[in-house]
Amino acid sequence: MRVQVAIVGGGPSGLLLGQLLHKAGIDAIVLERKTREYVLTRIRAGVLERGLVELLEEAGAADRLHAESFTHNGVVFSSNNDHFDLSFDQYVNQAMTVYGQTELTRDLYDARERVGATTLFNVEDVVLNDLKTESPSIDCTVDGKSIHIDCDYIAGCDGFHGVCRQHIPNNKRKEYIKEYPFGWLGILSETPPVHNELIYSNSDRGFALCSMRNENLSRYYVQCDIKDGVDNWSDAAFWDELKHRIPEQFADTIETGPSIEKSIAPLRSFVCEPMQWGKLFLCGDAAHIVPPTGAKGLNTAASDVRYLYRALKQHYSHRDSTGLQHYSQTALARVWKVERFSWWMTSVLHRFPDQSDFDIKIQQAEIAFLQQNEAAQASLAINYVGLPY
C-alpha cells in the first residue's frame, strides 16, 4: 500500500488531520488500534477553543456542532463560599464552545466515511521504518493480517502510551514530566447544568468543577486521592462531596441524579522534545499532556494538527518544506505556554498533600487578586480562550 501521509492513531487529532489532508487533496490513511465503537466510549473534555472550531469547519465536520453546542462566555471562580464571574467578552472578542469530545470524534468519523477516506481499525504491532530516509514506511497487522505501508510522512497521533514517540532515539529525546499527587473523580449525569458557565472551585476540602455537555447532560468533578477508586464512591457520596466544595448558591440549586459514567483521571504535565524525527511528526498526547484544569488537552492537540496540516499542504502545493522543517520548534513554542497556564490553574485551585497554611493563604490571595485586578483577569481570559496559532 502507498499513501502520502500515514497517521497512527484514530482519536480526534488523527481524524482531524486526516480529514483536513483529504480536503486538501493529500492522500492519507488513519490507523487505529481499537474499534470505532471503543474509541467512541471514551469520555473526554468538551470545551473547545475557537481555533479548533474553525479547523472542524474547514474539515467539513462542524454542522452538528453548530446545531447542538452552546457558547461559553466566561467562568465562575470560587474560594469556599465566595465567588465571582469572569467574563471573556470584557477582555477578548472570543468565546469557547461546549461540545463533547465524543461527539466531535463521531462527527469526524462520519465525515471521513462520507468522503470515502480510509480508516483501518484493530491495527496492532505497529513498527515505523526508515524515518531518517526519503522512504519511510509502516509495518503492522490488521485483524491478524500483515500490512506494509509506504509513505512520504508519518504523523504520530497515538497518545501518551503509543508507539510513535518511542521511535525517537533515547539519546535524542528529552521528556519533561510532572506528576500531580491527586486525580479527578468525574461523573456524567443526565441532569441540567447547575449554571450556564463553568464553575472552578477552590475549597478547604479540595478542588471541584461544574461543567456541562448540553442542556440535559452535566459533567462534574471533585479532586480525590490518586490511589482512590470509583468503587469507593456511591453517587450519593459524590453529590454530597460536590455540594460541600461549591458555593451554597449553587449547592442549594443543583439537580442530582444517577451517574451514567464515573471515572478517575490522573493529572500529569508532560512534554516531549523534539516533536519530530526525520519523517515522523508527533501530535497531541503523543507529544504533550496537560492537567485538565483549563481544558487545554484537546485544544493543544488541535494547534499541532493545524501546524502540521498547513506545513504538509505548503509542501505538496508549493514544494516548500519550511513549515515541516520548523514544525517542532513552532509547536513547542505554543505548547510550553499552554503547559504554564494549565500548571498555574492547577496550582491555584487544588489542595496539595504537603501544603502548609502559608501555601493556602497564598492560593487565597492569588484568587482575591484575580477577582480585584482587571489585568490579571485579562491575562486569564487570553489564555483560557486560546492563544493564537
3-state secondary structure of 154: strand
CA distances from 172 to 167, 177, 248, 285, 335 (A): 10, 16, 52, 19, 19
The closest alpha carbon to 202, from 41, 346, 354, belongs to 346
Write the CB contacts of 283 (distance below 8 Å, at least 6 apart in sequence).
13, 14, 17, 155, 156, 157, 275, 301, 304, 305, 308
3-state secondary structure of 114: helix
Which entry of 262, 274, 292, 309 is annotated as an active-site residue? 292
Which entry of 12, 22, 72, 83 is annotated as an active-site residue? 72
Show the DSSP H helices in the chain as ranges.
12-23, 36-39, 50-58, 63-68, 101-115, 235-245, 248-251, 297-318, 322-325, 327-349, 357-372, 374-385
Query: Is residue 193 among the annotated active site residues?
Result: no
Which entry of 99, 200, 309, 327 is annotated as an active-site residue? 200
The closest alpha carbon to 201, from 100, 69, 87, 349, belongs to 349
Spatial separation of the C-alpha atoms in residues 329 and 28, rounded to whole Å:
24
Query: Is residue 318 among the annotated active site residues?
Result: no
Cell of 79: 474560594
The closest alpha carbon to 220, from 237, 196, 199, belongs to 199
DSSP type of residue 121: -
Query: Is residue 296 among the annotated active site residues?
Result: yes
- Maximal C-alpha separation, the chain: 63
Query: Is residue 384 among the annotated active site residues?
Result: yes
Query: Is residue 200 among the annotated active site residues?
Result: yes
Spatial separation of the C-alpha atoms in residues 324 and 311, rounded to whole Å:
5
Which entry of 22, 296, 313, 315 is annotated as an active-site residue? 296
Spatial separation of the C-alpha atoms in residues 248 and 230, rounded to whole Å:
26
Q: What is the set of active-site residues? A: 72, 200, 292, 296, 384
